[in-house]
Amino acid sequence: MEDPPPPPEPEPEHHPRPVRFGILGCASIARKVARAIGLVPGATIAAVGSRSESKARRFISENGLDGAAVRAHGSYETLLDDPGVDAVYAPLPTGLHARWAAAAAARGKHVLLEKPAAPCAADLDAILAACDAAGVQFMDGTMLMHHPRTHEMRNIIADKKDFGDVRMINSVLSFPVSDDFLENDIRVKPELDGLGALGDIGWYCVRAILWAVGYELPTTVAALPGSVTKNDAGVVLACGASMHWAGSKVVATFTCSFLASLAMDLTVVGTNGTTLRVTDFVIPLEESSAAFSVAPPEELAVVVVANDLPQEALMVQEFARLVRSVRDDGGRPEGMWPAIARKTQAVVDAVKASIDKGCEPIEIMHGLNN
Amino acid sequence: MEDPPPPPEPEPEHHPRPVRFGILGCASIARKVARAIGLVPGATIAAVGSRSESKARRFISENGLDGAAVRAHGSYETLLDDPGVDAVYAPLPTGLHARWAAAAAARGKHVLLEKPAAPCAADLDAILAACDAAGVQFMDGTMLMHHPRTHEMRNIIADKKDFGDVRMINSVLSFPVSDDFLENDIRVKPELDGLGALGDIGWYCVRAILWAVGYELPTTVAALPGSVTKNDAGVVLACGASMHWAGSKVVATFTCSFLASLAMDLTVVGTNGTTLRVTDFVIPLEESSAAFSVAPPEELAVVVVANDLPQEALMVQEFARLVRSVRDDGGRPEGMWPAIARKTQAVVDAVKASIDKGCEPIEIMHGLNN
């Protein structure tokens, strides 16, 4: 009688090497994401790059990072050449995205890019082509996509029995800005963030609308006559648009503004008796839970969804997971993230084109380039 | 020394003679308003007129009215000739409004007319001219105008300090209808209610938008490309529009549909920190109170407004008060009600014109006729 086989050796405890982020630029949103990276076990900040080393050092100390462990780079170039950086988080002005995100990809860095992804689809295509050629992960910084509330709401909308088909979508998104912002913020400067409010907040409206229809591109997009306010440099401060999908009965509208008080509303009406409403869809009012309401005719039920990490950390967590899969396990980059960034950009571009053509409806081509 | 003057005779207790309503037509909405008339001390139902006396009798018995006191008329004509009728409530198909509301006014009856007021402004002008010539009160049946919540919300919006100026208004209004409705209801028949969903529910969106801007007519109205669904007879089942006011930064949008689940949303965003939201603005979910929310950035505060009578009874009460003022006290008819009906009609007409012209923007003339 033979002995039973020996028990297998216990596997060593799995400690995945964290994804080492380089922060490319020190915009104020970078503080939030730097904190988020610190909250995620599988992610760490390896370096900060700015146009001067002293600015990078200041960012490191002001954000409580370990000055001994985090390298300060005095240029974007040297950060991209840092071999200890796996991925960049790039909160640069939108006008600089194409140059630096593509350069990062060309050096083999995965790219987490602030939104709007680019000033136009051609720029984004260059970035995505560079990521594709290098085999690195691309994701844009639309944090709301990573909140569990968003997934819960998706389940509601996808329920053919209780929700039916989507028929009407509306989003109203605004926040009031200061006089200083209107004078000096990069989001009102044509060469830095030429899309203005359309890029900064309209992006979220467009993304939410696409999300609600399962990312099917609309066929026609039209800016709303009279909805557009621009500054003296021609940058959009407020606008609105409607869109529709040929052959469907879906109609979507949004208005967004730097010139009104805070509203972050999304309403989705279906055919079968449930209406979904959320009034803080971009940034939940609470950091550890977020609510939405569903209303059958009789009552308004509020659903509260808890989140263990703030949504920006959930974004970093998911991005880091995808990066590790490529870096450590020979996985392919996840194609969903570049695809929905590209669709969002296509619709934002169409709204911009309609604005530029006096609110003429713009057909979106459903070809390979869109 | 003289005796003091005798104390004055006690005044007889004031029992104003109730306003005697004739109900012109037995549409289902008439049941609700008949009940409302019964709830108002200063109003009573004197007569019901239908195309046949038996239908009028049936309405009387089915609605628990006193068959000995309420006269049944077998034609609209004889009801209008009834000298015991002070005012008509007319829930007729919209296509019949011009004829019968004008005829009622010509016979000295005050007119409470279901909405939409008319198929087009020319028809409404004929009605208003007849009311004006006869010196009778006109009011359309937009019940929400009479709920104390509406007045409370008006106070919020009018608060220049906390609300500031109105910047964005959105209304989403829909209710799901049955296959039978889509086949047979008067609201899908071109000759009866040619405005379809635009007249039946879009009317409320337009009214709410005008209400939010203090009844200033927009300069431009445009239907949303792709928002329009019509039935085979060309009647609108769903549509949407945007509007703006030249020289202002206000933009308003609405979508309305017979083909989606229940939504009755109105959102108004101002400049100074308060956003107003209501999700049942047309018919409050509760009969004795109604809520809205105001959101400064930090929190969402719900305001509940109690009402002592349902809003349809508050409408009857206000209409009856105005009628008594004219009938008993030599007062002039209140001009606000015809004026806002006319403005609502002008905007509804402009939406219809835009729909008919492939969603071209329509300028609204601000002349005497609008």
As a residue count, chain B comes to: 370
pLDDT in tens, A41-85: 999 999 999 999 999 999 999 999 999 999 999 999 999 999 999
DSSP string, A276-294: EEESBSSS-SSSSEEEEEE
pLDDT at A366 over 90: no
pLDDT at A336 over 80: yes
Contacts of B277 in chain A (CB under 8 A): 265, 279
What is the assigned CATH class of domain B19-143? Answer: alpha beta
- Report pLDDT for B1: 45
B42 pLDDT band (50/70/90 cuts)? Answer: very high
Produce one character per residue of B202-233: b if its CB has 16 or more CB atoms within 10 Å, e if not. bbbbbbbbbbbbeeebbbbbbbbbbbbbbbee
Q: Does A220 touch chain B (CB under 8 A)?
A: yes
Of residues A263, A272, A275, nearest to B269 (C-beta): A263
H or E stretch covering B247: none
Tokens 């910047």, residue located: B167
Of residues B222, B261, B271, nearest to A259 (C-beta): B271
A370 pLDDT band (50/70/90 cuts)? Answer: very low
| Phi, psi dihedral angles at A229 (to 5 degrees) | -115, 130
pLDDT in tens, A213-250: 999 999 999 999 999 999 999 999 999 999 999 999 99
pLDDT at A368 over 60: no
* Distance between B159 CA and the closest CA of chain A, angstroms: 14
pLDDT at A146 over 90: yes
Look at residue A336 and give its three-state secondary structure. helix
pLDDT in tens, A152-161: 999 999 999 9
Look at residue A52 and give its three-state secondary structure. coil
Rounded mean pLDDT of chain A? 93
Which among B113, B119, B140, B125 has a CA at the least distance from the CA of B23? Answer: B113
pLDDT at B13 over 60: no
- Report pLDDT for B302: 86
Q: Would you tell me which residues 18-47 of chain B have a C-beta closer than 8 angstroms to some C-beta of chain A? A: none
Q: Does A219 touch chain B (CB under 8 A)?
A: yes
pLDDT in tens, B238-287: 999 999 999 999 999 999 999 999 999 999 999 987 899 999 999 999 99
Of residues A227, A240, A270, nearest to B261 (C-beta): A270
Contact check, Cβ <8 Å, A251/B168: no
Q: CB count, 10 Å around CB of A251?
A: 28
* Distance between B209 CA and the closest CA of chain A, angstroms: 15
- Give Dmax (Cα) for chain A: 92
Give the domain A144-311+339-363 fold.
Dihydrodipicolinate Reductase; domain 2 (3.30.360)
Domain A19-142 has CATH 3.30.230.10: no
Q: Does A285 touch chain B (CB under 8 A)?
A: yes
Burial label, A113 (beta-carbon count in 10 A; 0-12, 13-18, 19+): buried
Where does chain A hold its CATH 3.30.360.10 domain(s)? 144-311+339-363
Of residues B227, B238, B279, nearest to A242 (C-beta): B227
Contact check, Cβ <8 Å, B271/A285: no
Structure tokens at A162: 């209780």
Mean pLDDT computed over B329-350: 97
* Measured distance CA(B108)–CA(A130) in Å, rounded: 79
| Phi, psi dihedral angles at B214 (to 5 degrees) | 70, 30
| Phi, psi dihedral angles at A76 (to 5 degrees) | -65, -40
Which among B25, B70, B62 has a CA at the least distance from the CA of B43? Answer: B70
pLDDT at B3 over 60: no
Cβ-contact B209, B171 below 8 angstroms? yes
Of residues A225, A249, A262, nearest to B297 (C-beta): A262
Tokens 């008594």, residue located: B324
* Distance between A27 CA and the closest CA of chain B, angstroms: 23
A274 pLDDT band (50/70/90 cuts)? Answer: confident
Bridge partners for A169 per DSSP: A252, A268
Where does chain B hold its CATH 3.30.360.10 domain(s)? 147-309+339-363
Residue type at B15?
H
pLDDT at A369 over 60: no
Q: Does B246 touch chain A (CB under 8 A)?
A: yes
Within 13 Å and on the Cβ side, how many CA atoms surround A134? 24
Q: Would you tell me which residues 300-319 of chain B have a C-beta closer than 8 angstroms to some C-beta of chain A? A: 300
* Measured distance CA(B127)–CA(A100) in Å, rounded: 67
Q: Does B238 touch chain A (CB under 8 A)?
A: yes
- Report pLDDT for B16: 79
Contacts of B293 in chain A (CB under 8 A): 279
DSSP annotation of A204: H
Of residues A168, A251, A259, nearest to B167 (C-beta): A259
Domain B147-309+339-363 has CATH 3.90.1410.10: no
